[in-house]
Amino acid sequence: MYYRIILLLCLLTSTTFAQTKITDLTGSWIAGKVSYLSDEELPDENLLKYTYVKYTFSPPDRINVSGIYYDLGAEHRFELQGNRLLIKSSAGYVMNTLRILESTKDKLVLVSASGDRNLESPTALKYTCYSEPLIQKNKPLGPDDIFRVNGTDTIFRSGQKIYAQFDGPIYEEYISYELYKKDIQARNAELLATFIVDASGKADSLRIIQGINPKYDKAYTQIFNAAKYKWKPAMHNGKPVRVLMNQRMKHFPSEEMVPNHFNTRKANTAYNNKDYERALYYYDLALETRPEDYNALYRRGICKQMLGNIDGACSDWKKVKSLGSNIADALLIKHCH
């Protein structure tokens, strides 16, 4: 289904390129495909191949980059110089330069330099992005997108097609910072909650499915209520709708975080060096203390795949899916039955 949607999007969009203006970029763009500039497909072990990336441009010069559909993500500044898109820090330093290969109403193609910083190299990365409204329009509504129906009143479930967006970069970081200001701490604990954002953008109906302790839960509820009007409503068919959102706050004990951090770093280094045996060893260690680290599970699955253990790879990717992440969906469709 994913590939059929992308094919349809390709047929719907033009391939002409004209001088890009800031107004042409305004809005959210999702990378539907990442390939080499030569159009050669990335190998499965290249994490960028299936990574969700969303760029959101806001006038006059703000760009947010996110790896999660419901967050704006990290904020930077940008500048257009011809067909060059300069990504800058808040202090004005150029952090990255992208080439705009194509820009139309619904399609934006960006080129990121290869290892030798060459924007024209066949091995430079090409991000083929489509406007988020177009992707949402062409993504079919499924039964999993609906939470509850009561007569003509429907509450949708948060997903890439329909979701409410916090009026700020990352909601989880906002919650964590406010808890920090209140000196509320937790170790080796997890809070699970749901809430509904109504058609006006108000968050209510908070339900703590799994709390941590009375003090933490009370502080969390206070922070939630203080931010209840900081939401943009979900949209469906051009109209605001009610949507069920999920919240997960996980806290690890500090004595586990340090070894886990170093094991994950060693695993990632080995992975990037294509030493999959060594990477597998360290991912195993990292997952002993953080078994729900879906990024480590995803990469361990790739390691198993590269070592010929496709059943083990599918097992890890299915765990990723069960943890609520969709980063392994394409691999599950491609390799697992």
pLDDT, one tens digit per residue, over 101-140 is 999 999 999 999 866 678 999 999 999 999 999 999 999 9
CATH code at 262? 1.25.40.10
User: pLDDT class for 67, splitting at 50, 70, 90?
Assistant: confident
Last residue of a domain, one of 236, 251, 266: 251
Last residue of a domain, one of 202, 221, 251: 251
- Considering the domain architecture, whether residues 264 and 231 belong to the same structural domain is answered as no
Q: Does residue 8 carry a pLDDT above 60?
A: no
Residue 253 pLDDT: 61
First to last CA, the chain: 15
- Considering the domain architecture, whether residues 26 and 133 belong to the same structural domain is answered as yes
Q: Does residue 4 carry a pLDDT above 50?
A: no
- Segment 161-189 shows an average pLDDT of 89
Q: Which residues of 157-187 are buried (b: 16+ CB within 10 A; e: fewer)?
A: bbbbbbbbbbeeebbeebbeebbeeeebebe
Give the pLDDT confidence of 249-303 residue by residue, as tens digits: 887 665 455 667 788 889 999 998 899 999 999 999 989 888 888 899 999 999 9
For residue 4, the SS3 value is helix
- Considering the domain architecture, whether residues 133 and 8 belong to the same structural domain is answered as yes
- Considering the domain architecture, whether residues 124 and 196 belong to the same structural domain is answered as no
CATH code at 28? 2.40.128.280
- Considering the domain architecture, whether residues 76 and 163 belong to the same structural domain is answered as no
- Considering the domain architecture, whether residues 19 and 129 belong to the same structural domain is answered as yes
Least-confidence region, from 50-59, 221-230, 235-244, 246-255: 246-255
Number of domains in the chain: 3
Q: Does residue 296 or residue 10 have the better pLDDT? A: 296
What's the count of helices (H) and strands (E) in the chain, helices before strands?
A: 10, 16
Residue 14 pLDDT: 40
- Segment 236-252 shows an average pLDDT of 90
Last residue of a domain, one of 84, 114, 137: 137
Q: Does residue 216 carry a pLDDT above 90?
A: yes
- Considering the domain architecture, whether residues 127 and 212 belong to the same structural domain is answered as no
Q: What is the mean pLDDT of the chain?
A: 88
- Considering the domain architecture, whether residues 122 and 156 belong to the same structural domain is answered as no
- Considering the domain architecture, whether residues 129 and 6 belong to the same structural domain is answered as yes
CA-to-CA dists, residue 220 to 45, 65, 166, 179, 207, angstroms = 39, 27, 16, 7, 11
Residue 61 pLDDT: 93
Find out whether 178 and 242 touch, Cβ atoms under 8 Å: no
- Considering the domain architecture, whether residues 275 and 206 belong to the same structural domain is answered as no
Residue 15 pLDDT: 41
- Considering the domain architecture, whether residues 127 and 161 belong to the same structural domain is answered as no
Give the pLDDT confidence of 131-144 residue by residue, as tens digits: 999 999 999 998 88
Proportion of the chain in helix, strand, coil states, percent, rounded to 5:
35, 30, 35
Domain residue limits at 329: 254-335
Give the pLDDT confidence of 192-202 residue by residue, as tens digits: 999 999 999 99
- Considering the domain architecture, whether residues 182 and 104 belong to the same structural domain is answered as no
CA-to-CA dists, residue 154 to 104, 150, 158, 235, angstroms = 35, 6, 13, 13
